[in-house]
Amino acid sequence: MNHSKKLHERELSLLLTAVLLGFMIALQAQSFEDLGDVINRDSRADVFREIQILKNTNDSLEDEIDELGNQLERVSNNQDALESVREEIQKYEIITGRIDISGPGISLKIDGDTKSLWLTDTVNELFSAGAEAVSVNSIRLTNTTTGFDTIPNGQILLNSVILNQPYTIEAIGDKQVLESALIQPEGIIERMRRNVPDAVVEVQQKDLVMMEKVL
């Protein structure tokens, strides 16, 4: 009787242990499943975060590209402005005679009893035709040149220097344009020849005219 009772208690204990073990196994399985869900959810979240990061990075890159484009445009505009300033400085240096200058141009030789007004008109004609620089008997004209003066004996002065005949006027610029301005009908050469019969006037194009800076 006691032996049967003990056997029954042992079977009951084993049954309870089996049930408990089964419950724990089921609970553990559910925990693993939940853990997998968490891992999968976090993985999806990571992917979305990376996608967002990539999108933000791409947006930032587009903004940087736009800014670089704007900077390039500003730099280009600044370079254009600087180039314009450089050109203006160079023009000023040429006008004031601060730098040497050379280039194509023309040479005009006047030999005869020519009054200073003809020299003045010739120089004005050349500048009006676009001459960058003009010299008379190797004296370069600048913004400080006061013009031609005539002394009592009829000689012509330029910058307090007496000019001797023949008068040689040189100009730097488009040689064809400068020559055309001088030889055009009713131009300075035609009028000079008509009014100063003994004057010999010759003009020629030159590939290179050189003028030194004014010291």
Higher per-residue pLDDT: 97 or 210: 210
CATH architecture of the domain covering 97-211: 2-Layer Sandwich (3.30)
Query: What pLDDT sits at residue 10?
Result: 54
Q: Which strand (E) or helix (H) includes residue 136?
A: strand 133-136
pLDDT above 70: percentage of residues in the chain: 67
Average pLDDT over residues 93-113: 92
Query: What pLDDT sits at residue 13?
Result: 53
Query: What pLDDT sits at residue 4?
Result: 52
Determine the Cα angle at 164 with ends 212 and 156, to 5°.
95
Domain boundaries, the chain: 97-211
60, pLDDT greater than 80:
no
Alpha helices in the chain (DSSP H): 2-96, 116-128, 175-183, 188-195
Query: What pLDDT sits at residue 166?
Result: 94
Query: What pLDDT sits at residue 9?
Result: 53
Contact 172, 102 (CB under 8 A): yes
Query: What pLDDT sits at residue 154?
Result: 87
Query: What pLDDT sits at residue 213?
Result: 92
How many Å separate Cα 113 from the centre of its chain?
52
> What is the Cα–Cα distance from 64 to 177, expressed in whole angstroms?
51
DSSP assigned state of 214: P
pLDDT digits 0-9 by tens, 61-94: 667 667 777 777 776 777 776 676 677 777 778 8
Query: What pLDDT sits at residue 48?
Result: 47
pLDDT digits 0-9 by tens, 119-171: 999 999 999 999 999 999 999 999 888 889 999 888 999 998 999 999 999 99
Query: What pLDDT sits at residue 46?
Result: 47
Average pLDDT over residues 11-27: 50
- Amino acid identity for residue 189 in this structure: I
